[in-house]
Chains A and B, each alone.
Chain A
Amino acid sequence: MSAPSGETFRERAGVALKDGELRANFRRAMDGLMGKRAAQFADADEWQRLRDLGESIRRRALSKLPDLLEQLEENLTNNGITVHWAETVEDANQIVLGILREKNAKTVVKGKSMVSEEMHLNDFLGRHGIRALEADLGEYIVQMAGETPSHIIMPAIHKNRKQIARLFKDRIDGFTYTEDAKEMTAAARAELRREFYEADAGLSGVNFAVAETGTLCLVENEGNGRMCTTVPPLHIAVTGIDKVVEKLEDVPPLFSLLTRSATGQPVTTYFNMISGPRSATDRDGPEEVHLILLDNGRTRIYADAETRRSLQCIRCGACMNHCPVYTRVGGHAYGGIYPGPIGKILTPQIDGIGQYGDLPSASSLCNACVEVCPVKIPIAQVLVRLRDEAAGHCSRPSVKESGAKKSTVQDMVWSGWKWMHENPGAYKFMSGVLTKTGNLTPAAAPLLKEWTSVRSKPKFAKKTLHQLAKEKGLADE
């Protein structure tokens, strides 16, 4: 099974919905994750106070973002970590390549990093003769299959054990076919141990960058993040400029919200705080540590106070785990780097409404994502804002390619609808006409056709509400 094909979200979602195996894989996973998260937040009072704190920390950090980025740079530099700034993914890739070439590095082992996915770093390095190997088990599976992650926390969630076993059989020398998760994990461990040992460089993302102390925090369970940032002589971290927090004490509440929301774990196995390369007295650790701060559209999202709130995200994935759309179509249907509700607001803002203008509409605004978001991002509000931006109805447009989905027909329909609802005579007349002609309109009529392609045509009542009210003797006011 590969990612659902299609040019648009609508086409890809159509393909995904008919893939029973894919739907079963997601359904099983999401049901499990929702249950585990709910158990972590059984104390409603604690949950509300903790998420209020989480929201305040993220919003405070964003409100001081330029100052905090400067403070972070200063403290990291004092700690011996080299800081680079990149406006685009092309610039970021060139910076990574430059650092690797300077050290004559040929192989890079990677911890999970969604920003490196944004950069399409593996392909870029591959084209320049450098092998980048994913070391997180899920990412390792996805890379082996030549795919992209379908979930930001569990990249290979779209695959079941049979599919993974077949992949390992084809791609790992000496692997004896088994569907036992423990044996498959052991096979990956053996392969990757050798890679960690021999790699010239390690690359990781960053969960929180602490301005106050110049510290890079990494959250993980497997130990691959520690391996990548400890064993090779060079460590390169890549992160978005939005990942900064002001104080060290801001970290524990966010860490708690992250692990509990993401996978329903009270804590992850490892929480790694990196505040410098190997010191004069240390015996191990990388000799050099670099941090690349990537913009890639984030300053534009930041510019507007409403869209800025998209940047509060701590990448827990709870919004996708609870999304009725994501659960049915899976992560690949979204087409961007970030799937699910957070992807629906980030991807069109990063890559433009022209290509991704249909994503904000792929939602019933059911609000499940808003209810579980640990930092209270108003996802539904931003979705509506992006719909307005897409349709060219925004009073202060700020999103890339705003107005790209403007439709004259749609605008006319809504103007007519508005006029009719503002004129009681016209409303009475139209509703009267529809009781007579509505049921005669064929399901395949223009404008109705798309709606009825997957739904039954609505059945019109014989009498309008006005007529029924009149018969009951209610006064027509």
Chain B
Amino acid sequence: MSSARDNILARLRKSDADGDLPGSDFSVMKEKIWGAEEKVERLIAMMSAVNTELHKTTEAGWPDLVAELLKKREIDSLLIGTNNRLMDRLQGAWRDKGDAPDIRLYDRAYEDERAEVFAAPAALTTTRGGIAETGSLIVWPDAAEPRLLSLAPPVHIALLEADRLHNTFWQAMTAEGWKDGLPTNALLISGPSKTADIEQELTYGVHGPKELIVLIIEG
């Protein structure tokens, strides 16, 4: 008995041949190039247009900024993964703060931690980089920063290093050779979750984060 697979492939293989096909000219993907400062400004403009809050900061300054942003929202805890750089920075900066938010860790398997992850009011992650053209964050979740950090909590704060900005999505994936090693899940995030399914009225915060805050680290 032949399988569905064999039948489908056999039918496709005995189909009409194609005539001449147009070649793929990728030049339109290569031409969009901005300077370092322009890339940052473009990303800010594109992401602000879809309700993202962006701040420019420094490697030394971001932990205090995070504390301030959470305080403003009356949020008293922050979920992070097991990224050592984040932990060291946050603990260093918040150690002597009396009213610093609690740092909660997403450091076990989802099944053991799902209630906490879904109840967390805010999460902080790093990013792999960004895309200036469309105002997008490149996020590759892993063991240190699992997928749900950027999805379940209503507030997602993301750190973006300004020197990791690419011009376009195509340029990012070709420059970094993504085809030779994608993770189980790779993402572009270009704002807080949104919908326009009710009379095309743009509404933020459907299933994913209601707020996306991007801290651009310069210098």
Q: Which residues of A contact B (CB under 8 A)?
A: 28-29, 32-33, 46, 49-50, 52-53, 55-57, 59-60, 62-63, 65-66, 69-70, 73, 79, 85-87, 91, 135-138, 141, 154-157, 160-161, 164, 181-182, 184-186, 188-189, 192-193, 196-197, 212-213, 215, 221-224, 226-227, 230-231, 241, 247-253, 255-256, 263, 266-279, 281-285, 293, 295, 299-300, 302-305, 308
Contacts and interface: CB of A to CB of B under 8 A. Distances in A.
B195 A221 contact: yes
Given A141-B197, A271-B187, A249 B192 contact: no
Contacts of B203: 181-182, 185
Given A248-B173, A252-B168, A230 B192 contact: no
Nearest to B187: A272
B35 interface: no
A231 B179 CA distance: 26
Contacts of B46: 266-267
A269 B47 CA distance: 10
B201 interface: yes
Most buried by A among B108, B109, B194, B198: B198
B187 A273 contact: yes
A454 B169 CA distance: 52
Contact of A52 (B7, B12, B25, B50): B25
Majority SS of interface residues in chain B?
loop
A213 B8 CA distance: 22
Contacts of B143: 281-283
Interface in B72-105: none
B185 A161 contact: no
Contact of A29 (B8, B193, B195, B200): B200
A53 B24 contact: yes
B184 A282 contact: yes
- Chain A to chain B: the 4 pairs with minimum beta-carbon distance, closest first: A223-B208, A267-B134, A138-B197, A223-B207
Most buried by B among A196, A212, A273, A284: A284
A221 B195 CA distance: 6
27 contacts: A49-B27, A50-B28, A59-B21, A136-B197, A138-B197, A154-B196, A181-B201, A192-B207, A221-B195, A224-B207, A227-B207, A241-B12, A248-B179, A249-B170, A250-B24, A256-B134, A266-B46, A267-B135, A270-B190, A271-B136, A274-B184, A283-B108, A283-B113, A283-B143, A295-B4, A302-B11, A303-B11
Interface string B144-188: 001110010000000000000000111001100011001111111
B28 A252 contact: no
